[in-house]
Structure 1
């Protein structure tokens, strides 16, 4: 093994830290003519062989060079060509309205809730640094095609004192939040006067229907103080995000201090909930009208490339306008009296109102219609739950009667590992609650399984995305913690949330849930908080942040292991030089492993007897490894590092199993490896080979030319039994081909946007320690088995070991993989030595063995050329401690970092996690700097961010270190400019062209393709009639999920969410399991209902009843005659209670956007039977 080069330590993160890497170190450089020993010359456009940067020197400050414009108008910075700034769109496609209005559609009537003339003319207060006006209007509607949003500003001519959110209206509406076919533009010739001149032009009315409220802003109250606090920053914040309370009267109570949050907002605070349509009226000259037509053309082009962006209305709908006065608004949108309605029903009604699906004024009629059509209260709830699949509830009576006709009275059975939990989404403008959803269980929900109405899972988010902490958010929050989105979070935590007339209060959040901004609330009238804490165990942790994490441990998702385990004596940790070599790993017997696998559904094959599991047991957590010679079959022995707090609970809960996973490289690994000597050409070849094998998957399936690599790709991307369908001959089925397209798109998106490429010569496995003590320092053991029909393989070679995230040169290390007979019983794990001065996992970015996965690579092209640098050594800052942590401490914390006071006098620990969870910003800064400068040291600041949940101490990212410009592979489509990167990640990014996207097929366009093997079996009309209501229920459930997760139909069975087109957000990966669980639940419900419908029917057929059902469900889904009849019934509202044809309201609000094409997944609820029928037809 080559010798290591030790790096200097870091003491403070600022611009000078960038000078602390080796002189010849180039993070992410694309190297040419570089030898295996790391000494080469001829770096490609990033650094000269001497180590001197050929771009702006870091000593001058990041991005110190001034951008210059070429003759053709292109802008260059440090030799890089910059991409277009989004402000150019806002100024180019900006239109000044005469008037604007906000409201909602009811039938063919636009209900105007607020509207007025707009102040017209140029806003002279908006000037650039030279004092020159930027040309913005006092009021305007602008189209930003770079960031894909509408920019709205409106100074309304309204008398009296206006609330903050209306002075002026300042909003950004994402294209994703515009309803399908939601933009309507109408023009009529008009002569108008402007600046004293008569102009012949066009009067244009623009109407936009929305799915959810836009992001609204208001002027920050303490702006002058904020400016004084941020003199070093050139980007002066002038506004903050508005919340619902900002629509209340001026001078009223602030967001934080008005008590609990109610699901149904009152008075003006309800405006954002019910404003689902915005209108503007313009007088435009011919030139201005031409620019507007150019915008329309761009929307048309966008729809051609991205089907979900078909935003323009077809045709010329007509509607009336009705302006509401105060009394009319109160009758239609005032708070309904639900005090006499039981909790479950009331909660569902409140949710329908909060989602904007039901008008409060229709509640009385809804309750009367429910009582007339559903005597049993549980069935009333079933009807209400089904209404969530609707975009708008237009005719309450008709739709309730329609639902009551075909809905099953018995709710679908919940899967064993799931429980029905209400989830609440708190956004700046709304609080959204839907029907109880199937969520993975945990120790607490299993303990209180009879009181689940008293538990809710609350998540804080923006209107359409995660709650983002901007650069200045913490500054503004410290000055005014009583206003803005963080104040709304505080309000919920301090005062609670009122749902169904019951007040819920926060109790705890696990570490993973905190990352999702989620926390559990309980109803103290149903579940006693003190009794709950006593049952969980004695949490004596004095570090406030750790105490909070320990309290959340029982809320971690897990499955109970039905086995009487024996808890053996606690084992000592192997500790040396201040490092713990066995941090987080205990041992267990074979029966424990087998039963844990059974709890997770692995009852046969290699995963039925895993070598390790990740577990929770009372107050203990981590990993248990199988060592049959050291413990009994049912025995568990924990280490001190496993035990987080004392608890009397002895139920073993399993989180996941150790199983084979293929290794993948990512942007961080590639950046460091190439900088550490791995030739860039090796990575390029790997990418090109991957692209070749991925592209064309759909076409190969259709041509029946599926390769082994194709089947491997399908298995890696999705648990859906797609391979079985293909092998059974369903090559032409629209859903099969669409899922192939989804897999192909996902794989290509991962390559382009994440540089995630499969590493054939590597594995990605959970780490454990060597209890036998046979591995020497620098050695690892790895035996992997990918499939049951293949023998296990032991890796014996020099290898690379790394762990994500990796930011420091020393985070990618070499080791020797060796064979040891004493370890041969361990499979699909990486065993680390317990000898040496420092454990290898800790060298890999501070990893441990309580559940971390590690990548191991033996491909010699990577291993031999890698130069290894010294591992980073980070010491966490002193944590915030309390002698006795109380609930008040969990709601309050304070601290100081590098002399910078973090003022949190009334801020919750949970809020501080949100404010300081800017790890993504740190990673992005590191990645961008690695492409620009020669040296980087963001790693040291990263560890404090990672450790916030353990210490409570916040790290501060110096604004001066943030890049001014960003490489194109990061696709920064905000106001920061980007340039075309010429280093390795930029080259890889541009290999995948064009941008991968998925367009669902329409069986009408391909003339209803039918498998002739199934058509030979007969059809019974009476059975079709019995199955039609079941199909309706299944498709309504699917439509609800499509709206909930913003996915297309075939993404749900595939378990792959593509709607975030660039898939840059890790949270998209987290949708896989919810999509899969939801689909499995819908399938189980459909199968149960179908078999119940035919249980008393005797068939004269060689087919089983299940096969007969499958044949008829296939006919309903794919055969032209039956599909066209079904679509005709849909148009007349037979299966949704709509009671009529599609209206012009639907055209603007996109009500029927999910029904443009017939749905194609229902038949595959019976896929096993369909495969059987296909095989029978061949006999």
Structure 2
């Protein structure tokens, strides 16, 4: 091992492959012109940032970084000049507009022994993926330089959170260059995958099962997290690097998450370790884990893949685990806790501390949750996560005792969803055996090796397929044939339909606890080749009530819904309440609901019909205004909305809430904002942050989505009229907001529409009427079954199997809209095969990914209709393409052209805008214009991009509520609660990293627009965030209740109020917060000692939500009667009536007993139980002294008495 001061001489490295066991060249060529040869090296300030901040290195190195210690895996001198395409051979370029770092390195190594991904190295690293303060720039003079005393040696080091997007070049072959379809642009490169780093020549498609931890050179992207370049430059060129650094620092002023520049001195010294091939094997080759339990092995693989654990440290971690426990289950809980770490620095110190408070029985979980392993397959890595609590489905409930045999696999890019663009499709057509799609095919054909077991694909539900996700099983644990026989018999020969049927049992649902009687079948109402009752059945009142009960609706309006969305065996759709047609415990199905035959008779409910207010969006506004709705009306509505929202946080702080403000708080109905504000907590830092989150999200919705609420409208699920009373062009709608408001029937001309809406005829005018026979139906829209064509099909091709519709009775919209004829289109003929095999299903999944163009069509249509109008022939054609693509995606992703020619479906390049409107927030590299249309006008009503910055408790001076803080504290109880706080915040921070959210986004379930999730659907996080927070809170409360077993006391405060008082102190009161943080930073409760030079500060500390796990008790405390009255009531109580009891035997429970208990707990988990779940939970202090504690009364000199 060598360790030297960093410099040019460190770069003669040894590549860790037998072909590279010779010294690399270290001679530097002459400086070339900048990358494309268009801008000189001393480019003026007016140059494009991509060219202006391009720099040409003399050498490059890749490896890993910890603090100032760099371990070099690969290093080489760089070749300069241009290639045959006039592109720079070696450069780095900071593209500040697109916020990416472009990397190119052509090394002086023999290209014949280089793998494709390094011949040359070509990559793009998003600024989002650069570590916090991960860009380091150092310099030193080259005093021995002849003739140029100002020459500097400059080193740029970039540390990243995850691998960049790698590219590799095509071999032109005998046929010459390949071209993008429909263009004159040649396709010279493709995305690289892990196999492109191999020197074996083995191609991705034929490489066999994908292992969780790659071996040899394929592992480089997994373990490289740092890139370093050395430059020789004069002062003038160094000034350009300084200017670039200053621009990058400026990004953090607008967004703290973009704090990328290191604060270290430019003369900082670094320690460099250059690895030989043998040293690389020793450091990065995991030990043999075949003797480990499957659950333990998968966790170790996950820690290695996520970069938390170095492979060389795996053996030490296993030994340490065995030293603290003999229980495999306990080992797993420790390993799960380690996922919250950035990197494990000291195993011997960390693991025993974790074990000190993790030793406890695993808690029971709610009946609708199961523990599922998730695996992300990226182009270069396989990321195995710890088991996560997720809503169950029919399959996971059926195999609840064999969940080790089920994993959910998602195919993603390195940082986000995998977006398939045209050049990727062309690259797949040129050579389907390599690249991204080949990696997906490889996983589907050969499987994934997780925990030493091979998992193979089974099926994917509709929603999972949209996220490029699929379920895999270990056929040695769950027999595939038995699973398919249990699900039912699918005879469908259309491949896409067959895949959809197979995915039905995997859709998230909750089981209804009652015996269902299936009565006689109802016929579908069909006319002119159309089905007016497509997807609608009927059910009795008791069935609907039990379904609501399964979703947690126990009383009030939603406890007796009019409609549920369901799945029953091979049937799916909605069931409506028609008491005159069915018994209370019966359901009746139609042929359109039954997708395949199945013997499963459990009713699964997905959701119930609820009141939802209407919102406009960009598509609705675009169509409505094109059809005559005045621009001034839309602008007025948006101006009012902006005025109502702006200043929301300030009004909360001042305690001046309008009705609109209170409605805004209703967005986070899972967190008791209004109750806390009414109780006087309106200045609490977390409440203010929640208010800021809501204000930010509401303004972001206005600016970026044109999403504005319409009080004279509703958004409800649609069903058919079973009575036949409604005439053609009529609908019935009765809505009720809550239990306190009366039900209202809409009677008037109305507009009705459904998202997505692209065609001018997708917004219709109909008449809402009152029909007494339909008044038992609430919070639904009832459609007529009369006429030539069903109305839902005119609304963007909708149906009634669970679609929601927007109904507006604001006459300012209704009377001004000019109704355009609805779109007519013919669905393409789906592809059928004689018998569908797993091979067909696998390729169907791949083609779904390749042909998932709906989002691109939406964007192109929106841009063109803004520049022209929705009536432009190109826009009308795009609306047809969208409808066809929707049907293809739903029924036949393998389209006719692909089957005949091997060409994937393409969006015609002539339909792609050359310029994009500003409101679409396209990358700045694209040409944009200031839209003068209605969407551009309302976009600029919110002038700056709404931004959220979390509060810093320390800077705020640790504000606390004297109504709570005046109650005395006891050190013994505080010490018992500190591990609980550490456990809660460890889980919370894991969720914050997992979902890339701030702390207040988790309790509210409201995810704001974030550059790190720029292309993800924020609203999809609402349910996971709320579920995660509910789990955390209920586990904390459960653990607190166990702590109370060791205390007895007499006081006017209840035991849980006593806990709440102490948790409040640990969260908000300066003395106790600082004390707790100091202990944690010193390594208490399983924490690692903090090295300020290494710690990545992803968020302000301390966190502020722990106390609010006990919000009910805190409300009760501040609502206590006058203290003098309480003191009189307690005058006769001795001061030591509350004291700690001796520990019971539970704390000394042996690990063997713990293992035996797990089997019992697993059985209990199948029954409904209180939420008691967490990845980490505290161990109570086993050595507690018996100490008297004073009654909980405020001090006599409290100045708050009069206010109470």
TM-score by length of 1: 0.88
1:752-791 to structure 2, matched below 5 A, reads 752-791=703-742
* Partner residue in 1 for 2:893: 952
Report if aligned partners of 2:205, 2:442 keep a CA contact under 8 Å in 1.
Answer: yes
Tell me by how many angstroms 1:1055 deviates. Answer: 1.1
Cα distance in 2, alignment partners of residues 319 and 200 from structure 1? 23
Which of 186, 200, 204 in structure 2 is aligned with 1:255? 204
Tell whether 2:1006 aligns with 1:1056: yes
Cα distance in 1, alignment partners of residues 1015 and 929 from structure 2? 21
Tell whether 2:124 aligns with 1:172: yes
Tell me by how many angstroms 1:880 deviates. Answer: 0.4
* Partner residue in 1 for 2:163: 213
Which of 503, 509, 521 in structure 2 is aligned with 1:570? 521
Which of 797, 803, 812 in structure 1 is aligned with 2:748? 797
3-state DSSP of counterpart to 1:774? coil
Question: Residue 1059 and residue 1127 in structure 1: after superposition, are their counterparts in 2 closer, same or farther (change >3 A)?
Answer: farther
Question: Residue 231 and residue 409 in structure 1: after superposition, are their counterparts in 2 closer, same or farther (change >3 A)?
Answer: closer
* Partner residue in 2 for 1:507: 458
* Partner residue in 2 for 1:19: none
Tell whether 2:38 aligns with 1:97: no
Question: Residue 1130 and residue 315 in structure 1: after superposition, are their counterparts in 2 closer, same or farther (change >3 A)?
Answer: farther
1:367-397, CA deviations, whole angstroms, 9 ceiling, x for partnerless residues? 1100111222211111000000001111111
Tell me by how many angstroms 1:106 deviates. Answer: 4.2
Which of 918, 926, 934 in structure 2 is aligned with 1:976? 926
Unaligned 5+ segments in structure 1 are 1-84, 128-135, 892-907
1:620-635 to structure 2, matched below 5 A, reads 620-635=571-586
Question: Residue 469 and residue 1162 in structure 1: after superposition, are their counterparts in 2 closer, same or farther (change >3 A)?
Answer: same
Cα distance in 1, alignment partners of residues 264 and 1014 from structure 2? 36
Cα distance in 1, alignment partners of residues 47 and 162 from structure 2? 24
Tell me by how many angstroms 1:107 deviates. Answer: 5.5
Cα distance in 1, alignment partners of residues 74 and 924 from structure 2? 31
1:919-958 to structure 2, matched below 5 A, reads 919-934=854-869, 935=872, 936-937=875-876, 938-948=878-888, 949-954=890-895, 955-958=905-908
Tell whether 2:50 aligns with 1:109: no
3-state DSSP of counterpart to 1:292? helix
Comparing 175-184 with 912-921, greater Cα deviation is found at: 175-184
* Partner residue in 1 for 2:503: 552
* Partner residue in 2 for 1:188: 140
Which of 1107, 1115, 1118 in structure 2 is aligned with 1:1171? 1115
1:722-760, CA deviations, whole angstroms, 9 ceiling, x for partnerless residues? 222212211111111111111111111111111111112
Report if aligned partners of 2:445, 2:839 keep a CA contact under 8 Å in 1.
Answer: no
3-state DSSP of counterpart to 1:762? strand
Cα distance in 2, alignment partners of residues 541 and 1127 from structure 1? 61
3-state DSSP of counterpart to 1:314? coil
Tell me by how many angstroms 1:1061 deviates. Answer: 3.7
Cα distance in 1, alignment partners of residues 926 and 489 from structure 2? 49
Tell whether 2:433 aligns with 1:489: no
Tell me by how many angstroms 1:548 deviates. Answer: 0.5
3-state DSSP of counterpart to 1:1109? helix
3-state DSSP of counterpart to 1:1153? coil
Cα distance in 2, alignment partners of residues 694 and 408 from structure 1? 47
Tell me by how many angstroms 1:365 deviates. Answer: 0.5
1:576-598, CA deviations, whole angstroms, 9 ceiling, x for partnerless residues? 11111110010101001101100
1:1030-1069 to structure 2, matched below 5 A, reads 1030-1058=980-1008, 1060-1061=1010-1011, 1065=1015, 1067-1069=1017-1019
3-state DSSP of counterpart to 2:1085? coil
Report if aligned partners of 1:266, 1:334 keep a CA contact under 8 Å in 2.
Answer: yes
Question: Residue 820 and residue 486 in structure 1: after superposition, are their counterparts in 2 closer, same or farther (change >3 A)?
Answer: same
1:1128-1147 to structure 2, matched below 5 A, reads 1128-1138=1078-1088, 1140-1142=1089-1091, 1144-1146=1093-1095
1:735-750 to structure 2, matched below 5 A, reads 735-750=686-701
1:855-866 to structure 2, matched below 5 A, reads 855-866=806-817
1:593-632 to structure 2, matched below 5 A, reads 593-632=544-583
Report if aligned partners of 1:753, 1:969 keep a CA contact under 8 Å in 2.
Answer: yes
Tell whether 2:40 aligns with 1:88: no
* Partner residue in 2 for 1:132: none
* Partner residue in 1 for 2:7: none
1:844-859 to structure 2, matched below 5 A, reads 844-859=795-810
RMSD of Structure 2 on Structure 1 (CA)? 2.0
Cα distance in 2, alignment partners of residues 268 and 777 from structure 1? 67
3-state DSSP of counterpart to 1:200? coil
Question: Residue 678 and residue 226 in structure 1: after superposition, are their counterparts in 2 closer, same or farther (change >3 A)?
Answer: farther
* Partner residue in 1 for 2:95: 144
Comparing 924-933 with 715-724, greater Cα deviation is found at: 715-724
Cα distance in 2, alignment partners of residues 597 and 1013 from structure 1? 40
Question: Residue 602 and residue 179 in structure 1: after superposition, are their counterparts in 2 closer, same or farther (change >3 A)?
Answer: same
* Partner residue in 2 for 1:716: 667
Question: Residue 225 and residue 557 in structure 1: after superposition, are their counterparts in 2 closer, same or farther (change >3 A)?
Answer: farther
Report if aligned partners of 1:1013, 1:1177 keep a CA contact under 8 Å in 2.
Answer: no
* Partner residue in 2 for 1:289: 238
Tell me by how many angstroms 1:288 deviates. Answer: 2.1
Which of 1090, 1105, 1109 in structure 2 is aligned with 1:1161? 1105
Comparing 726-735 with 290-299, greater Cα deviation is found at: 290-299
Report if aligned partners of 1:226, 1:475 keep a CA contact under 8 Å in 2.
Answer: no
Report if aligned partners of 1:617, 1:651 keep a CA contact under 8 Å in 2.
Answer: yes
1:903-945, CA deviations, whole angstroms, 9 ceiling, x for partnerless residues? xxxxx11000000001111111111111223402211111221
* Partner residue in 2 for 1:813: 764
Comparing 206-215 with 816-825, greater Cα deviation is found at: 206-215
Cα distance in 1, alignment partners of residues 171 and 990 from structure 2? 40
* Partner residue in 1 for 2:844: 909
Question: Residue 765 and residue 551 in structure 1: after superposition, are their counterparts in 2 closer, same or farther (change >3 A)?
Answer: same
Cα distance in 1, alignment partners of residues 173 and 775 from structure 2? 66
Question: Residue 1082 and residue 359 in structure 1: after superposition, are their counterparts in 2 closer, same or farther (change >3 A)?
Answer: same
1:38-117 to structure 2, matched below 5 A, reads 88-106=48-66, 108-117=68-77
* Partner residue in 2 for 1:1111: 1061
* Partner residue in 2 for 1:387: 338
* Partner residue in 1 for 2:414: 463
Tell whether 2:955 aligns with 1:995: no
Report if aligned partners of 1:944, 1:953 keep a CA contact under 8 Å in 2.
Answer: no
Report if aligned partners of 2:761, 2:819 keep a CA contact under 8 Å in 1.
Answer: yes
Comparing 388-397 with 1052-1061, greater Cα deviation is found at: 1052-1061
Tell me by how many angstroms 1:197 deviates. Answer: 6.9
Tell me by how many angstroms 1:187 deviates. Answer: 2.4
Cα distance in 2, alignment partners of residues 436 and 710 from structure 1? 39
Cα distance in 1, alignment partners of residues 752 and 47 from structure 2? 44
1:511-530 to structure 2, matched below 5 A, reads 511-530=462-481
Tell me by how many angstroms 1:979 deviates. Answer: 1.2
* Partner residue in 2 for 1:43: none
Question: Residue 272 and residue 86 in structure 1: after superposition, are their counterparts in 2 closer, same or farther (change >3 A)?
Answer: farther
Cα distance in 2, alignment partners of residues 547 and 727 from structure 1? 54
3-state DSSP of counterpart to 1:1058? coil
Report if aligned partners of 1:412, 1:1084 keep a CA contact under 8 Å in 2.
Answer: no
3-state DSSP of counterpart to 2:991? helix
Tell me by how many angstroms 1:137 deviates. Answer: 3.5
Tell me by how many angstroms 1:1059 deviates. Answer: 5.5
Tell me by how many angstroms 1:181 deviates. Answer: 1.6
Report if aligned partners of 1:100, 1:278 keep a CA contact under 8 Å in 2.
Answer: yes
* Partner residue in 2 for 1:902: none
3-state DSSP of counterpart to 1:391? coil
Which of 82, 86, 103 in structure 2 is aligned with 1:123? 82
Cα distance in 2, alignment partners of residues 1068 and 1177 from structure 1? 44
Tell me by how many angstroms 1:158 deviates. Answer: 2.2
Cα distance in 1, alignment partners of residues 1011 and 552 from structure 2? 33
Cα distance in 2, alignment partners of residues 374 and 154 from structure 1? 49
Unaligned 5+ segments in structure 2 are 1-44, 896-904, 1123-1203
* Partner residue in 1 for 2:899: none
Tell me by how many angstroms 1:225 deviates. Answer: 5.4
* Partner residue in 2 for 1:265: 214
1:520-578, CA deviations, whole angstroms, 9 ceiling, x for partnerless residues? 00110010111111110111111111000000000000000001111011111111111
